[in-house]
């Protein structure tokens, strides 16, 4: 990764890290178990760690995480039948296993 030499103004800059959770990016996570490659996502973790270490302390770090409730009460995509055709066609809606469920290993951040 190239080093940025410019100034970062913490009043208007921040680092946003989105969905770097075990079920999305880790071996053994939901997407990996579904046959999706996790290596491309794993490959960016060292750069994220570098940014977290090297950014000035007063620059905000924001982790955006997807979390589903264990009882499925917030599963609006399935409840309201709003799933994309690609997902419906794959049969993913019929699976009983869900990803990034509150309280599970899959929901936790994967930054190792």
Per the listing, tokens 């302390």 go with: 57
d(CA 53, CA 84): 38
Strand ranges inside 1-112, DSSP E? 14-18, 60-64
What are the boundaries of each domain within the chain? 14-107
pLDDT 10s digit of each residue in the chain, 112 long?
A: 567 777 888 899 999 999 999 999 999 999 999 999 999 999 999 999 999 998 989 999 999 999 988 887 777 666 666 677 777 677 665 455 678 999 999 999 997 6
pTM of the model: 0.75
């Amino acid at each position: 990764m190239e080093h940025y030499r410019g100034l970062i103004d913490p009043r208007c800059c921040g680092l946003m890290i989105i969905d770097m959770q075990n079920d999305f990016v880790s071996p053994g996570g939901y997407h990996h178990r579904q046959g999706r490659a996790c290596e491309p996502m794993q490959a960016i973790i060292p750069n994220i760690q570098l940014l977290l270490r090297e950014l000035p302390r007063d620059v905000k770090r924001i982790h955006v995480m997807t979390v589903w409730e264990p009882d499925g009460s917030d599963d609006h995509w399935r409840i309201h039948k709003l799933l994309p055709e690609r997902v419906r066609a794959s049969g993913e809606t019929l699976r009983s296993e869900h990803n990034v469920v509150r309280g599970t290993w899959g929901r936790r951040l994967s930054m190792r």
